[in-house]
Amino acid sequence: MEEPQEWDDDKELTDLEKIQLEEIMLAAAYENSYRVLTNKIDFADLVEEKNLIGISAIMAYDPTSGIRKEELDNMIRFYIDQDEPEYYLRCAELKKIYDEIT
């Protein structure tokens, strides 16, 4: 996964660059969220890991209140759209979590 690049406050982004940046940020948020939800990393450890390389630990949900079904559904759809075998396995893991949410 591509990490966000250094930001230049003086540079004006084109519409295409804005879309690309949003896609990178969304992918990063889903990756971070997936790792936390599947207990591959603790949220505090994720924050520390990202802090060490100078970026924020963006998430697709609020980790203090837990993920909602709608947010989890969006993550599953995102991984389905990636059309890669690795991501189908993620969908299966996330679907189990989805089914456990009341």
d(CA 4, CA 17): 12
d(CA 54, CA 100): 35
Tell me what the pLDDT averaged over the chain comes to.
Answer: 90
pTM score over 0.85: no
Name the range with the highest mean pLDDT among 4-8, 76-80, 84-88. Answer: 76-80
pLDDT at 79 exceeding the cut of 90: yes
**CA 78 to centroid of chain Cα atoms:** 10
According to the model, what pLDDT value does residue 78 have?
Answer: 96
Neighbouring residues of 26: CB distance < 8 A, sequence distance ≥ 6: 60, 78
Return the number of other C-beta atoms located less than 10 Å from residue 46's C-beta: 18
pLDDT, tens digit (0-9, with 9 covering 90-100), for 10-47: 578 899 999 999 999 999 999 999 999 999 999 999 99
In the three-class reduction of DSSP (H, G, I as helix; E, B as strand; rest coil), residue 11 is classed as: coil
